[in-house]
Structure 1
Amino acid sequence: MVTYTLAALEGLGLGASLIIAIGAQNAYVLRQGLRREHVFAVASLCFVIDGGLIALGAGGFASLLRAFPSLPDIAAWGGAAFLIAYSLKSFHAALKPGRLTAEDGAAPASTGLRTAVMTTLALSLLNPHVYLDTVILLGGIAAQYAGWERLAFAVGAVTASGLWFYGLGFGAKRLAPFFARPLSWRLLDVFVGCVMAAIAAGLIIGQLRS
């Protein structure tokens, strides 16, 4: 029982250290939480995707990525293209006062659930760091465990993912009064655009150096 607990705690700690960072996916979850828009759907989708990748890594899927070295390159270029497009969209949104109007503390005009889901899927699956960190790195560490201990490790990592995404999405509501002002939404759009542009630049530089 002690070894299972230690494995779960290690999975929890490693999962938290990998996921708690400023990134495109987290920035989008935060933004949706502040907008109070499809928060549960977005957080749940992020959680399911992350949990699935953790399961793949713990189950030995990392060997497949190593067997096909072109997969990370494809994900990197595809992710960079998407992030650049989304950053431009965010910068454009910051220049449109109509989209930044807030009434009674509400967020700007709502976007559809389909758009939120597709954006979440793209931000989650077109980011090569997700595969490198969640699948390969976490999967490699999980490989040191066997049987139920490996399962406990994976459960710990999945728990960290759930706590983070739901906490980030629903906890953002506490900042709603601040973001009831149009200027705050303008700044958030600029911030999201900068984060995504920076990540895209990092991906491109990494590919050019490889």
Structure 2
Amino acid sequence: MAAFMTGILLALSLILPLGVQNVFIFNQGAASPRFAKALPAVVMAAICDTLLILLAVLGLSVAVFAVTWIKTVVLGVGVVFLLYMGYITWRSASSQREAGQEPVMLSARKQIAFAASVSLLNPHAILDTVGVIGTSSLHYTGLDKILFTVSTIGVSWVWFFGLAAAGHYLGKLDTTGRWISWINRVSAIIIWGIAIYLLSLLIW
């Protein structure tokens, strides 16, 4: 049971901060006329997190990131990716605020593709999963390791469903899109901050 609770608390500490993935899921929830319309993004994000957690717990990702040049490439690509996503998020917030528009609802196919990209191309999330969840899982064996893994995966699924639901209901309340616009602006700044942090890891 201790391993299960540790997994929950650890996963929550990693998933709660605003980031590209969370912003996208929230916005799709806000843009969806019906909650079910946002499910492709929610399910894909949760599946990607599940995959990353399994790779981390099994030790495969740790082995890969032990190779210095691979880690450097991932960080470099990630910095560019996050800077771009921060720009897109900020521009989206600005255009919505000026035009009084609501967030754009993507098709199911685009939701799946975008959710996969912000999940699997996000180096901050990958490094957190490998460095924190993967390392922490080394303390457990047998049933405890299974409970730890299940709890961390479970948190991801519950979180993404809850985040999309929160976005959906806020979208209904915020008909002008003002609050969502401000949330996106703050999110863009946080995303840029993460990019700068990752850049510092490359430099120093």
1:146 paired to 2:141: yes
Alpha-carbon distance change, 208 to 110 in structure 1, aligned in 2, over 3 angstroms = same
Residue 188 of structure 2 corresponds to residue 193 of structure 1: yes
Tell me, yes or no, if the aligned pair for 1:51 and 1:158 is still in contact at 8 Å. yes
Deviation at 1:207, TM superposition (A): 1.5
Which has more radius of gyration?
1
- The alpha carbon displacement at 1:183 in A equals 3.2
Give the alignment partner of residue 174 of structure 1, picking from 169, 172, 175: 169
- 1:83-135, Cα deviation, whole Å (9 max, x unpaired): 22222223333443599545xxxx44433333332322222112222222212
Aligned residues: 201
**For residues 115 and 198 of structure 1, do their structure 2 counterparts lie closer, same or farther at Cα, with a shift above 3 Å needed?**
farther
Percentage of pairs with the same residue: 23
In structure 1, distance between residues paired with 2:18 and 2:73: 23
Unaligned runs of 5+ in 1: none
Would the aligned equivalents of 1:178 and 1:184 in 2 still touch at CA under 8 Å? Answer: no
Which of 23, 35, 49 is the matching residue for 1:27? 23
Structure 2 gaps, min length 5: none
In 2 relative to 1, CA 9–74 (structure 1 residues): closer, same or farther, beyond 3 Å?
same
Name the TM-score, length of structure 1 as normaliser: 0.82
Match of residue 58 from structure 1:
57
**Could you tell me how far apart the structure 2 residues matched to 1:51 and 1:159 are?**
9
Q: Report the Cα offset of residue 146 of structure 1.
A: 1.4
Aligned CA-pair RMSD: 2.4
Q: CA deviation at 1:201?
A: 2.1
User: Scaled by the length of structure 2, what TM-score is found?
Assistant: 0.85
SS at match of 1:96: helix
Task: Provide the rounded CA distance (Å) in 2 between the counterparts of 1:109 and 1:171.
Answer: 16
Q: Higher mean Cα deviation, 163-172 or 127-136? A: 127-136
Structure 2 CA distance for aligned equivalents of residues 139 and 13 of structure 1? 15
Mapping for residues 126-165 of structure 1, pairs under 5 Å: 126-165=121-160
